[in-house]
Amino acid sequence: MLKLKSLKRWLLPLAACCLWPTQAAWSVGDVLTTPSMPTELAPTTLLIDVVEVGERLVAVGQRGHIIYSDDKGKSWSQANVPVSTLLTAVYFPDEKHGWAVGHGGLVLHSSDAGETWVKQLDGNLANEMVIAQAQERLANLELELENAEPDMQEDLEYAVEDAQFALEDAEIDAEVGPSKPLLDVWFMDKNTGFVIGAYGFFFRTTDGGKTWENWGGYVDNTERFHLNAIEEITGGMLFIVGEAGYVFRSVDYGESWETMESPYDGSLFGVSGNGNVNEVFVYGLRGNIFYSEDSGEGWSSVDVDAGETLMAAAIGKDGKMVVIGNSGVMLLSQDFGENFRVKVRDDRLALLGAKYLSDQRLLLVGESGVSILSGLQY
Amino acid sequence: MSNKLHDQGEHFIVSPNAEPFLERMIFNNRFVILIGFVIITAFLVYNAVQIKPDASFERLIPLEHPYIQNMMENRDDLENLGNSIRIAVAVKDEKSSIFTESYMETLKQLTDEVFYLPGVDRSGVKSIWTPNVRWVEVTEEGFQGGTVIPDGYVGDKNSLDKLRQNILRSGEVGRLVADNFRSAIILAPLLEINPETNEPLDYAAFSRELEEKIRDKYHALNPDISIHVIGFAKKIGDLIEGIQAIALFALVTVTLTLVLLYGYSRCWSGTLTPILASLVAVFWQLGILRLLGFGLDPYSVLVPFLVFAIGISHGVQIVNAMAIESARGFDAKTSSRLAFRSLYIPGMIALLSDGLGFLTLLFIKIDVIKDLAVAASIGVGVIIITNLVLHPIILSYVGISKSGIRHVQKGGEAANKKWRFMSNFSHPHVAPISVLIAIIGTGLGIYYKQDLKVGDLDRGAPELRPDSRYNLDNDFIIENYSTSSDILVVMVKTATEQCSSYPVMRAMDQLQWELENTAGVESTASLVTVSKIVTKALNEGNFKWMEISRNQQIVNSSIQRAPSGLINTDCSLTPLLAFLEDHKAETLQRVVDKVEAFVKENPSDDFQFLLGAGNAGVDAATNQVISKAKDLMLVFVYSVVSLLVFITFRSIRAVCCIVIPLGLTSILCEALMAQLDIGIKVETLPVIALGVGIGVDYGIYIYTKFEHYLIEGKPLQEAYYETLRSTGKAVMFTGITLAIGVVTWIFSPIKFQANMGLLLFFMFLWNMIGALWLLPALARFLLSPEKMVAKARAAEAA
């Protein structure tokens, strides 16, 4: 670990000053270093996620847009953001500290409830980190192999080979550049949290994002499927869902992960509770949605004809919940998800994030920005 | 006729001795000259009737402007973008939708019909009935899709429900199917050159086919639908059709002139000879144009009218002078000689100013305007020969009839009262009031012309009226579909195979976003838009992937199926499209300024962002050329006219008397344009030059007579009274006749002809008023009769 830390120590300032090697062809700034342009269009163009931070709402979306509202979505201000790439998710573990993730392996941090943001990690740095860890693991394994008992040698040889492949993969990734998006973020508190993303990207921090460790090895995802969503459900269990129906669960706030049996082999894009302890829904492609009453031990298919890919959910009061997705689809329930009613919005534009306001109106973000629905029929 | 000065002519061009020579030469050889005219006219008429319409796009645009040069250089690669037509087939009943069996059957037949229209690029035809329109869906196994028309479609409710579902999944709502599901579009790209015959597309014929085989036929077959057609080809077709209506206007103008002339002269020879001479001028002008290799475009088609009008204006002067001389008892030949003697100098000066005034239009680097300048100058040059030589010769044979002479004699008393009253314009008490009114008028004019805009201000195709069928169709399609008719294209040039490289895409994306944040831009589209959408689609439709990938392989696969217009064959050029709210000059300028600022702030050696194709790019370039040329042109017109007037009358005061009323007219005309929302553009700019050129005629005729009587020793008001009695009468008549002649254009189906008609109407009328009312008032302040007499005596003595 010592070696890794020293590496990081000189990598971080390097990352800050000259993250992307200057190329002659670049006339317009790199999206990872160009601040988001102030625009009135931010609340009406693509937004992907929305969260509540105390009384405030914070939403993230395209071109580095982070907007916040202190009047329940009536008016929005645009935050200062040092990047202008697509942001895919945002999470606040308390009323001040929050993280947003996005394309190019990006992690942003705010410590003033979302008004200003700084960059903590991006794909260049992440790639270096993965390479360093792969190198370390390979070195350790080789050392082990040298000193190993003969009967252990065969297994270790395989392990060395795997480590070599992993290193090669990481090196190829680094050559391509910071191309991989992070897709979701979850923090336990202002120090410890996880970011997940495409091709199995998975990092953990325990110092509020100052340093990150590759946590990819803690889930069984050797094929490097996309990890799409991470969420804590009532009762304190953590779930990650991903491509090809993968479902991972952690009972120790992310220290260790187990692979759950999946009800589905298509992609899952979201995981949410319904407010009841250990009850959880996973959902994804083509309107497939599954329910588990025992924290993912067993699944049952929810019988609803949604048709469209489901992306996110929100939990309201008294058993009300909504699952939303592409083409304006909304699944509405008032009995903790036992029964859903399907509603498709006329504009058929994708809905990607939702939050119940305190008066039970529903705030949605998506393809055409923010919209607020009241008087929902369940 | 005792005054020696009068007999000699007060002004001369070559020398005092040459003039009688010219007159002698013409009138002593009048038969030979007449025969010569007949032969030349026959030859030129033969040529004139063969003149071809010439409506080429390139002549309408400023070819020297950098935007246009960029567009022309990359024309081949941009071709797929532009020339297509859209046929929207709408359900009339507000409660119905396109999902009925009969509608779908009609749409299917229409699609087939369009497919077989000559000129249509069949491989590119798109409608929900063509197999290239598909729906795609992501499934666990990958992509699934099919044609929008479901397999086994039979037109029953089940099929139609399935069709609706497929349309929703196809993403064609807003493109091929209206947002309200009450109409659908057939999109047909056109081939500029027919590959079988190698002949260019005949827009007029194609447009006619669209009317006959599509609109009329299917309106009759299915009365429940309405058909709306837009596209460049349709617009040009409608324009050509509209121009043909010009024949009707010609007839109306000639008839009106005939009636008015007869009412004025009460003499058939006095009526028919000016018309004959002016028509000869028109044929000469057209014949010469053809011999010089010109055709008639939508703008120069108006020049024959101008030539006819100017010819009549000078012909009336001749007839008027002739009648006055005849009334004094001279025979036809002598009257004609006297009329020629008194008029050919002012006539020639006036026509020279017209011609040179028109030539200043050459400063505008747009071919149609240059053509207009050449055509109008030729026409005016021809009038010098036909109306100042041919017309008096004919009159010297036919003479003014007895009834005409009686009309001049008899009409005296009543008319004299009128002239007596009008002569008060030069009265010392009235003149200051007139000048004050003129100053106030100038002030008001300057105030109201502040709103004067460059460019076109209405929606839709600027050439046609806002309520023309084409523009109504255009409104229908814009309202119901996600499209705009005002498109600015930025051409992005890179090295070969580099057009989709990440740095280029990143720069395009940034420019698109900056444009979307510019007022007047509705939306933008480019390869980047396609790449983002397809990257999202390839990632199972997950919007979290709606971004340009930095992985070039992902970018490449995302644009594999990009529409052909968005990428050229060797990937060295890709267009960036901005869809604008309108084509007002401020909007266009704001958007091109934004692009130019972006280019300046983000220089690169590897790619270039070039303005500007698309109709908005052309309009922006045209506006820039016009606003730059406008003031220059006015300065030149006024300089040329002032100089000629000065050379003729050798007096700055004369220049002021004649040119100041013209200036007032120009200012008021611009104020009128501003208030009527007529912008300065290709068709209205020439009117400003033409107006000055024609207006100066009146002033020159009036001033010549006025000066003549002053030198005879008459007091100012008396001299003006005599002027009104002789020339003034003709000027007034001419102004009214010409104004009525052009005012009929207001009914033209083509908006620019209507605008030109309106403005010329105002110019003809107001220039006449300026010459008759303001000129004498200015003379009261500027002229000193005693000095003029003394100066004339001195010249005579010398």
Cβ-in-10-Å burial (0-12, 13-18, 19+) of B255 comes to: exposed
Q: Is the pLDDT of residue A9 over 60?
A: no
Name the minimum distance, in Å, from the CA of B97 to any CA of chain A.
16
Output the pLDDT for position B412. Answer: 63
**Residue B88: half-sphere exposure toward Cβ, Cα within 13 Å:** 27
In a domain, A46, yes or no: no
pLDDT in tens, B395-445: 999 888 888 888 877 766 677 888 888 888 888 888 899 999 999 999 999
pLDDT band at residue B143 under the 50/70/90 scheme: low
Decide if A378 is inside a domain: no
DSSP state of B724: I
Which residues are bridge partners to B144 per DSSP?
B137
Q: For chain B, report the end-to-end CA distance as a whole number of angstroms.
A: 22
Confidence band, pLDDT 50/70/90 cuts, at residue B632:
confident
Cβ atoms of residues B120 and B189 within 8 Å: yes
Asked if B138 and A179 come within 8 Å (Cβ–Cβ), the reply is no
Evaluate whether residue A165 is within a structural domain. Answer: yes
- Rounded mean pLDDT, B691-702: 85
Among A26, A37, A103, the residue with its CB nearest the CB of B547 is: A103
Residue type, A39: T
Residues A241-270 pLDDT 10s: 999 999 999 999 999 999 999 999 999 999
Any B CB within 8 A of A41 CB: yes
Most confident of A291-300, B243-252, B328-337, B692-701: A291-300
How far, in Å, CA of A34 to CA of A105, rounded? 15
Task: Say how far apart CA B309 and CA B757 lie, in whole Å.
Answer: 12
Q: Do B506 and A179 touch (CB under 8 A)?
A: no
H or E element: which one contains B486?
strand B486-494
Residues listed for chain A: 378
For residue A17, the model assigns a pLDDT of 35
Which chain A residues are within 8 Å of B504, Cβ to Cβ?
A: 25
Question: Is residue A202, in this structure, part of any structural domain at all?
Answer: no
* pLDDT score, position B88: 93
**pLDDT level of residue B111 (50, 70, 90 thresholds):** very high
Give the closest of A176, A309, A348 to B540, CB-based: A309
pTM, 2 dp: 0.82
Contact A85 B547 (CB under 8 A): yes
Q: Is B613 exposed, middle or buried (0-12, 13-18, 19+ CB in 10 A)?
A: buried
pLDDT computed for residue A1 by the predictor? 35
pLDDT in tens, B151-205: 888 888 889 988 988 888 777 888 889 988 999 999 998 887 777 777 777 888 8
Does A267 map to a domain?
Answer: no
Give the lowest-confidence range in B160-169, B191-200, B632-641, B734-743: B191-200
Dihedral, A269, A273, A278, A280 alpha carbons, nearest 10:
-40
CA B711 – CA B714 distance, rounded (Å): 7
DSSP A33: T
- Residue A179 distance to chain B (closest CA, Å): 5
> What are the tens digits of pLDDT across the range A318-347?
899 999 999 899 999 999 999 999 999 888
Write the residue in B140, B517, B549 that is nearest to A41 by C-beta: B517
Q: Is residue A154 part of a domain?
A: yes
pLDDT in tens, B34-80: 999 999 999 999 999 888 776 666 777 888 899 988 888 887 777 55
ipTM for the whole complex: 0.89
| Chain B residues within 8 A of A266 when measuring between CB atoms | 139-140
Specify the 3-state DSSP secondary structure of A222: coil
What total of structural domains would you count in chain A?
1
Task: Please indicate whether residue A339 or residue B562 has the higher confidence score (pLDDT).
Answer: A339
pLDDT, average across residues A29-46: 93
Residue A369, beta-bridge partner list: A366
Structure tokens of A72?
């329940």
Residue of chain B whose alpha carbon sits nearest to that of A183: B544
Q: Across the interface, which of B168, B507, B554 has its CB nearest the CB of A348?
A: B168
Of B138, B544, B604, the CB nearest to A88: B544
Q: Inform me whether the pLDDT recorded for B18 exceeds 60.
A: no
- Which single residue is written with the structure tokens 């290709």? B682
Q: Is the pLDDT of residue B583 over 60?
A: yes
Quick check: B142 pLDDT over 90?
Answer: no
d(C-alpha B19, C-alpha B345), whole Å: 9
Provide the pLDDT confidence category of residue B14 given band limits of 50, 70 and 90: very low
Identify whether A218 is part of a domain: no
| Residue B650 pLDDT | 86
pLDDT (tens digit per residue) in A89-106? 999 999 999 999 999 999
In this structure, of A124-133, B68-77, B192-201, B587-596, the range with the lowest mean pLDDT score is B192-201
Residues of A in contact with B604 (CB under 8 A): 25-27
CA pair distance B789, B333, nearest whole angstrom: 32
For helices B66-73 and B75-82, what crossing angle results, to 10°?
Answer: 90
Question: Which of B544, B558, B595 should be substituted to probe chain A, the one whose Cβ sees the most A Cβ atoms within 10 Å?
Answer: B544
Between B458 and B230, name the one with better pLDDT: B230
| pLDDT attached to residue B7 | 40
Q: For residue B424, what is the DSSP state?
A: G
More confident site: B297 or A35: A35
Q: Which residues in chain B have their CB less than 8 angstroms from residue A46's CB?
A: 543, 546
A351 assigned to some structural domain: no
A3 pLDDT more than 50: no
Q: Which of B83, B125, B108 is nearest to B234 (CA)?
A: B83
Give the residue numbers spanning the domain of A169: 127-176
Question: According to the model, what pLDDT value does residue A12 have?
Answer: 38
pLDDT value at position B141?
67
